[in-house]
Structure 1
Amino acid sequence: MSTSLDLTGLPEQAEQEIRRLIGNIEKPFLTVEELWEKIDQAWDEQGCNNIKLDWERIALFYNHPVWLLNGLFSEQDTISLNYRYAILDWISANRQNITSVVDYGGGFGTVARIIAEKEKDLLIHIYEPYPHAFALERLKKYQNIRFVNILTNSYNCLISLDVLEHVPDPLKILGEMINSVNVGGYLIIANHFHPVIQCHLPCTFHLRYTFNYFARLMGLQFLGSCQGSHAFVYRKVSDHPVNWLLVRQAEKISKIAFPLLSRVHPRYQKLKAKFY
């Protein structure tokens, strides 16, 4: 399905960046597959490699205008928007337990703005060390949203949408996320440990089958899916320090088991669908 991108209101330089990527047409349409192609094109232009990681090149990639295009697509694509409104619905339904939210890696601010429109007295932080100038400009009118480059340890709810597959040590980042949430607080996490774009690092793919095990090992309780979205909800139930020796040992086993699980899991899913 194609999404029509509305470029109204973009600063001139930002609009030029987008049009360079998608062509100078009056009403651009884009499918998610075409967006992925543009992201891969930017990855290749910077000479990045998802096995031999060169962080200078990868830093240039994550500052590429394609991420502005990605942000615009996410807030205008029907499926992406429905996911984000489903997360808002979940937060609103649990509002009595939530006074502060951090969107981890939510650089364009779409989720934060959607939440802020309804929950006007909710404190919302966006953890994004290098936000785009356009995102900063759009958030000026929201008094309850702030970009931060340091996490506190006092949030009631953390949102992480499609972040962990981009980092070389996702369990370390998950640990940082968990540390930022109070005991009893929630983590709403969506992962995509699949090779749909080159910046999804293969070293993370083993977590496709074992992520919930590690979440439990690190003090989280799995509560189920966030209905209507691609995310899952976890609750922090322990404040004990993470046993990193155990986590790293389990990580090695997870990586070794991944090829076998990749073959077995599809068959299991077919059997499950047939008999249950």
Structure 2
Amino acid sequence: MLIGAEAVDTAVELNAYLARFGYGQGLSIQQLWAEMDRVWAEMGLDNRRPLGSQRIADFYAHPVWVLNGLFADTDPTSVRHRQAIAAFLKDACDDQARLRIADYGGGSGALARQIVDRLPGRSQIDLIEPFPSDFFRRRLGYRSEIRFHDVLSSDGYDVVIAQDVLEHVEQPIALAQRCIDATRQGGLVLFANCFYPCIQCHLPGTFYLRHTFRYVLASPALSYVGAVPGAAHVLIFRKHGEIDVAALVRRDRIARGVGPLLNLLGQFHSQMKTLGRRAGLSE
């Protein structure tokens, strides 16, 4: 197959960029975050202004996100968390002949590959990626169980996963609702969130959910099951019916008022614990 000159140039530039960082191997999370913030600043982005008028698509199309995917392939913590999710799904859904799974924002396929390997011949995974990478499309091309999609359909998935997604969007609860709507009754929804200012693309407007996310989703139609063993930040919910949208909006409104105060109290509690540990060490 002939490859155009522009595609060759792009591939050469991508490889040169990735080589600067050892293709993600040996990179620390702090170094990765620093590079993400450098790209964010270089594009003149502002996480306190509406994203619609900014170059957000260019940011998520930047090679730093290929670097992020390669980093996730070898980082021990990232690998352990994905293995824990895959192991949980195997145990939780062992009685089902085949699982239909949507992995929202899982564009590198790192989690999808773990699940497929843990459930050989028993899973079909739709990678829902608004900003898909040609690099990972080619890399996953031989995996017939994994397919790319730009948008999430409401198609009755057995499992929907949103890992490290909601903190990147301006309407996190609206996206969470879409994930729930796309899940069949009796199915599972997994959310792994980081409502903390680790990097600039974590939007401060989502941080009110740091301690209130479960409260906002609380509903007779959605029960909280617990956390994934070995990945305590991954929350598991089971869908029992249709969400009462009006009640969801009311709880979200309350959380927007209460959440910032809970964050301050949480920070104060953490500081007191740190001071207590230091005092104990100094005695």
What's the TM-score once normalised by structure 1's chain length?
A: 0.86
Q: How far apart are residue 142 of structure 1 and its match? A: 1.1
Match for 2:110: what amino acid? T
The answer to whether the 8 Å contact 1:188/1:234 transfers is yes
| Residue 116 (structure 1) aligns with | 116
Distance 1:37 1:200 in 2: 13
CA contact (8 A) 2:25 2:74 kept: no
2:279 aligns with none
Correspondence for 2:19: 19
Equivalent residue of 2:188, what SS? strand
**What is the CA deviation profile of residues 47-94 of structure 1, one whole-angstrom value per residue up to 9, with x for unaligned ones?**
100111243411111111110111110111011000000001001102
Could you state the TM-score of these two structures normalised by the residue count of structure 2? 0.84
1:176 alignment partner AA: R
- Kept in 1: contact 2:162–2:191 (CA 8 A): yes
Q: Distance in 2 between matches of 1:75 and 1:48?
A: 28
Alignment-mate amino acid for residue 109 of structure 1 = G
Structure 1: which 5+ runs fail to align? 1-10
Q: Which moved more, 1:142-151 or 1:210-219?
A: 210-219
Change (3 A) 1:136 1:57: same
CA contact (8 A) 1:160 1:190 kept: yes
Q: Indicate the residue corresponding to 1:4 in structure 2.
A: none
Give distance in 2, aligned partners of 1:196 and 1:221: 29
Aligned length: 257
Q: The residue matched to 1:217 in structure 2 has which SS? A: coil
Q: How does 1:66-105 map to 2 (within 5 A)?
A: 66-95=64-93, 96-97=95-96, 99-105=99-105
Match of residue 155 from structure 1: 157
Cα deviation, 1:231-268, whole Å, max 9, x if unaligned, reads 111111222x5323x33333232122223212323566
Alignment equivalent of 2:41, drawn from 41, 44, 57? 44
Give the corresponding residue for 1:237: 240
1:27 CA displacement: 9.0
Q: CA separation in 2, counterparts of 1:203 and 1:51?
A: 7
Q: Could you say which residue in structure 2 is the equivalent of 1:220?
A: 222
Unaligned runs of 5+ in 2: 1-10, 277-283
Which residue does the alignment assign to 1:210?
212
SS in 2 for 1:232: strand
Task: Report the identity percentage.
Answer: 33
Q: Counterpart of 2:169?
A: 167
1:53 to 50, 54, 57: 50
Whole-angstrom distance in 2 between the partners of 1:156 and 1:249: 28
Q: Give the distance between the partners of 1:28 and 1:232, measured in 2 at CA.
A: 29
Q: Please identify runs of 4+ aligned residues in structure 1 that moved more than 4 A.
A: 25-28, 266-271
CA-CA distance at 1:118 after TM superposition: 2.6
Quote the Cα distance in structure 1 between the aligned partners of 2:253 and 2:87.
Answer: 37
Given residue 156 of structure 2, which amino acid in structure 1 is its aligned partner?
A: S
Q: Give the Å deviation of 1:114.
A: 1.2
TM-align CA RMSD: 2.3
Q: Within 2, Cα distance between the matches of 1:26 and 1:124?
A: 26
Deviations 1:191-219 (A, max 9, x none): 00000101100110000111001122383
CA contact (8 A) 1:116 1:142 kept: no
Determine if contact 2:127/2:146 at 8 Å carries over to the other structure: yes
